[in-house]
Amino acid sequence: MTAADRIDELRRWIAEADRAYYQLDAPTVPDAEYDRWIRELQALEAAHPALSRPDSPTRRVAGAPSPAFAEVRHAQPMGSLRTVMADDEAAVAAFVERIRKAGGEGEPRFSVEPKIDGLAVSLRYENGLLVQGATRGDGATGEEVTANLRTIRALPLALRLPPGQTPPALLEVRGEVHMPKAAFERYNAQAIARGEKPLANPRNGAAGSLRQLDARISAGRPLAFFAYGVGQVAGLELPPTHSATLRLLGTFGFPLAREIDVATGLEGLLAYHRRIGAARAALPYEIDGVVYKVDDRALHEVLGSTGREPNGSIAHKFPAQEELTVVEGIDVQVGRTGAITPVARLQAVSVGGVTVTNASLHNADQIARLDVRVGDTVVVRRAGDVIPEVLRVLPERRPCRADGSPQHPAFALPAHCPECGSAIERAEDEAVARCSGGLHCPAQRKQALLHFASRRAMNIEGLGERLVEDLVDFGAVKTVVDLYRLSLDDLLAMKRRADARDGVMAETVKSGKIPTRWAENLLGGIDQSRNTTLERLLFALGIREVGEATAKQLARWFGSLDALMAADVEALLAVPDVGPVVSARIHGFFAEPQHRAIIAELRAAGLHWPEGPAQGMAQGPLAGKSVVLTGSLDSFTREVAGAHLEALGAKVVGSVSKKTALLIAGEEAGSKLDKARELGIEVWDEAALIAFLQAQGRLPSV
């Protein structure tokens, strides 16, 4: 596999994992595996800077706002922290050395604090009053949850100020919403007593409680808050250190983690990590590490950031928690592309305070490496303290017959799909086996519909996982085309059947009123999706190996869907970043008569996407030039700026080299700006970029 193929594969895997975790609240891979993907992708992009792209997951904070909430654009992006694994003291030492060199003589001083396991939020106070609260979302845009945040009793609705002190015109406070352990346990005990479903764990409980559309539900949940920093400030002079800034927030009425402290040099940081790690189990809230921040705020600003990761702060994780349990069975699940994933059914065990009953085994090769069998005693780890995985088998505890042979045979993948009965096949060059049933398979159909409707694909609001399951289970939808044939009567009939199956009846139905707003909203969302773009449609079709970036490249290169469908493998190989594997996938997809039929039916259903002439090798004033974007822009995101530049022929890359023709430097440009100046590369600020785009007709002139 080429580096380009591996990079595209990793980006696709990470994008799918992000969607499952942040949008569907249904994580699919352990955090440790996700972290390995990110680290491998970072290494590959560093080794092959020409393959780096502004839409890479290494340059964004994972996650996206739910379409059910109003979007809030953060005045200052909410960045993520670079993560150091528990045993990587060398990385901590390197971090301290960089700070020491940047700060001059003497050991650097740090503000240190526990890394609370919850949901990051931003609180905006104007003239001392809370006016808006939002989740972090993707770092640039979050979800407005003001009404829900106001229900947290520990959170000040107005800044607590001494008599006569004028409140600041603007203060943006950032912190973590969480659910204390004792409160979580009390809530679950009460929920079980009421016959309700308990919350899975404190972290999911906090995130799910804050993201309720009905704030009264949030008010009934035991949520808490800790402040950890500030964003935009006006009318207030902040102290010179981060630790003093936190103390100031405390005087304003914001709760602070009691374990917040200061430490000096490497030994101080490692001692704090050991101290908090030893106290972790006894703490009243869940944590998954500690955070080190340069205490000198001016030095922290000078250090800048890399992407959205501040160079003056890191998170030092704790070891994943492990427990022993027994494998009671091994099942298989079917994904959108037919991928067969073995899942271990476990004897229930509490790992890190969470009851674990299932763990993914990834694929047949992983099972063979571990030699996992029914009846085995295994070590289960909540990788990243969230998602369970089987770490290893204890062969000495394996149940055996009288003759010493294992009581249970080695696991073998079934020959046929458990969902549809189609043959399970595995290509020689792949670790994953797949169901050959395609959209005939209900499991694949459901996942394909969810992918088609997702926010970055056709963006059909209101089409969630439960609704998709019912649409497929009751035969209302067999392919994506059927979505555009649904009527109000179809949806209401399906809802009646689903209610009858579940043995429930809404109070409104009992009183003779049939709720239809949900169905009308869904039909409206489906109708709005008829006007889309070619790149969104290509991504939505679910072609294997074709992520958002590849879909965008294909749309620009060929201009029209007909031209792309007519392209042979050789023509596809001419597209930048499209290698033999991807070109074969694309060509094979469009060679299938049923796929062509679906596209024809989508057109007949009124789907429309603008098309234009094939661009091939992009033309324009920046044709063939490598451009780097760095720092933050006020007028638009770097992704939007990159799209404008690409439309004018540029190739937007992630790192500065001798081949770089132009650097666009926003605020806090950091080391890339320094390197560009050293190499004599032309540098534009945001004003120059806007003027250029206006001259090219990409932006309106003022």
The tokens for 445 are 């159909």
**The residue count for the chain:** 702
The tokens for 87 are 């045993």
- Per residue in 280-297, is it b (16+ CB within 10 Å) or e — as a string? beebebbbbbbbbbbbbb
C-alpha span between 696 and 702 (Å, rounded): 14
**C-alpha distances out from residue 649 to 426, 532, 631, 643, 658, Å:** 40, 23, 22, 10, 19
The tokens for 294 are 């340069």
C-alpha span between 161 and 663 (Å, rounded): 45
The per-residue DSSP string of 173-208 comes to EEEEEE--HHHHHHHHHHHHHTTPPPPS-HHHHHHH
Catalytic residue among 101, 115, 197, 446: 115
C-alpha span between 134 and 387 (Å, rounded): 26
For this structure, is 115 an active site residue? yes
Identify whether the C-beta of residue 304 lies closer than 8 Å to the C-beta of residue 291.
no
Write the single-letter amino acid at 660.
Answer: T
3-state DSSP call for residue 243?
helix
The tokens for 413 are 């993948």
Strand ranges (E), 536-622: none
Task: Pick the closest to residue 62 from 75, 44, 79 (CA basis).
Answer: 79
C-alpha span between 367 and 341 (Å, rounded): 10
C-alpha span between 176 and 288 (Å, rounded): 13
To which H or E segment does residue 342 belong? strand 340-351
C-alpha span between 216 and 381 (Å, rounded): 36
Identify whether the C-beta of residue 535 lies closer than 8 Å to the C-beta of residue 560.
no
**C-alpha distances out from residue 417 to 411, 440, 441, 478, Å:** 16, 11, 8, 18
Q: Which residues touch 330 (CB under 8 Å, ≥6 apart)?
A: 342, 343, 344, 345, 361, 367, 372, 374, 411
Q: Which residues make beta-bridge pairs with 111?
A: 262, 293
C-alpha span between 354 and 346 (Å, rounded): 13
Q: Phi and psi of 77, rounded to 5°?
A: -55, 145
Identify whether the C-beta of residue 420 lies closer than 8 Å to the C-beta of residue 442.
yes
Q: Which residues make beta-bridge pairs with 341?
A: 333
Identify whether the C-beta of residue 48 lies closer than 8 Å to the C-beta of residue 659.
no
Strand ranges (E), 267-321: 287-294, 305-306, 309-310, 313-317
**C-alpha distances out from residue 183 to 227, 354, 466, Å:** 19, 15, 29
**C-alpha distances out from residue 364 to 262, 265, 342, 444, Å:** 48, 46, 7, 19
Q: Which residues touch 227 (CB under 8 Å, ≥6 apart)?
A: 173, 174, 175, 246, 249, 250, 254, 255, 256
Q: Which residues are catalytic?
A: 115
